[in-house]
Amino acid sequence: MPPITNGLPAGPRGGGRLAGVSLVVAAALSMNFGSAVATLLFPRAGALGVVTLRLVLSALLLIAICRPRLRGHDRSDWAVVCGFGLALGAMNLLFYQAIDRIALGPAVTLEVLGPLALSVVSARRPASYLWAGLALVGVFLLGGGGFGALDPAGAAFALGAGAMWAAYILMSSRVGASFPNADGLALAMGVAALITLPLGIASAGGNLVDPMTLGLGLAVAVLASGLPYTLELLALRRLPAGTFAVLMSLAPAIAGLAGLLVLGQTLTAMQCVAISMVVTASLGAVLSTPQRGM
């Protein structure tokens, strides 16, 4: 496992920075297309029912595949796993409440402000502030230059999900240092599933076990939880948390593409300009971050 400095990975390893960037992009593609598919399930099971299916099925899959060891960990390790699970559960619950009220693109645009704030706080070079600022401008332009017309509750849920996303980034680096492979993620996903299960049952009831709903829920679980979280956990072992956080600003661009292809949501010219700014900021953040430990 990588050494830890201030709770964050000390530097790239196991394939380096380029591999880390590729993992983040693949995770964002899987996450956002999975979220687009999830919105199609809302009429069947509701937002709480869908997020419950996503987390419960993801937990079952990851635990079956990883078969995490329960012995050999101290109380601090278990505290980190439980905290990670709470962050995962809260992030998913809040985000699905958001996309039940506002479109996918604006929801992800607001959510990504959490990782962007983390990138500014953790930055130690002037260029980091420049790239984070450029990404922030792009995020607001992607939302149409303002969010006043959005449903207030939906916007608040998206911002809350962003705060939990920042917590997830910090905690996942610690989990990766304490548990081998994806064991910590599998256990944390189990914690998140236990948190959401009562809410999903109360909201959707028997609709959760409808065969069609279960099948689509399994697809969402793989695309939007199991695969991207595993890729992100591996990426955090290769990238500093600040760089990872700025790379997450790619999410609004990918969400816009997912909205177009899956949900038929179109992009304006201004939103296309915003996407270019966010991509430029993300690439600039990676290129301006010195490699360490290579």
Give phi and psi for 238, each to the nearest 5: -120, -20
Q: What is the reported pLDDT for 289?
A: 57
Q: How far is CA 261 from the centre of its chain?
A: 20
Burial class (CB in 10 A: 0-12, 13-18, 19+), 68: buried
pLDDT at residue number 130:
83
Give the pLDDT confidence score for residue 158 in this predicted structure.
92
CA 186/CA 221 separation, integer angstroms: 13
Tell if the pTM clears 0.75, that is, is over it: yes
C-alpha distances in Å from residue 159, one per residue of 97, 163, 225, 226, 228: 11, 6, 19, 23, 21
What pLDDT score was predicted for residue 149?
60
Question: In the prediction, which pLDDT does 148 show?
Answer: 59
> Which pLDDT belongs to residue 196?
92
**Nearest residue to 267 (alpha-carbon basis) of 100, 94, 109:** 109
**Dihedral angle computed from the Cα positions of residues 32, 119, 94 and 257, in that order, rounded to the nearest 10 degrees:** -20
Asked whether residue 101 is domain-assigned, the answer is yes
The answer to whether residue 273 sits within a structural domain is: yes
In a domain, 66, yes or no: yes
List per-residue pLDDT tens for the chain, 294 residues long. Answer: 222 223 334 444 445 778 888 888 899 899 889 888 888 889 888 999 999 999 999 899 888 888 887 776 777 778 888 999 999 999 999 999 999 988 888 888 888 878 777 777 776 677 777 887 888 887 777 666 655 567 888 889 999 999 998 888 888 777 766 777 777 888 888 999 999 999 999 988 888 888 888 888 888 888 987 788 778 878 877 887 667 767 777 778 888 888 888 887 777 777 778 778 877 877 676 666 554 443
Within the chain, residue ranges assigned H as helices are: 16-39, 42-66, 75-99, 104-111, 113-122, 126-142, 152-178, 183-204, 211-221, 227-235, 241-247, 251-263, 269-287
From residue 47, how far is each of 21, 94, 121 by CA, in Å? 31, 10, 32
Is residue 260 domain-resident?
Answer: yes
If 0-12 CB within 10 Å is exposed, 13-18 middle and 19+ buried, where does residue 22 land?
A: middle
Domain annotation covers residue 294 = no
Burial class (CB in 10 A: 0-12, 13-18, 19+), 207: middle
Residue 282 domain-assigned? yes
Where is 264: in which H helix or E strand?
A: none
**2 inside domain:** no
Do the domain assignments include residue 8? no
Domain span at 113? 13-287
Q: How far apart are CA 197 and CA 150, in angstroms?
A: 29
- Give the SS3 label for residue 249: helix
**What pLDDT, on the 0 to 100 scale, is given for residue 147?**
58
- How far is Cα 64 from Cα 222, in angstroms, rounded to an integer? 13
Q: How many domains are contained in the chain?
A: 1
pLDDT score recorded for residue 14: 43
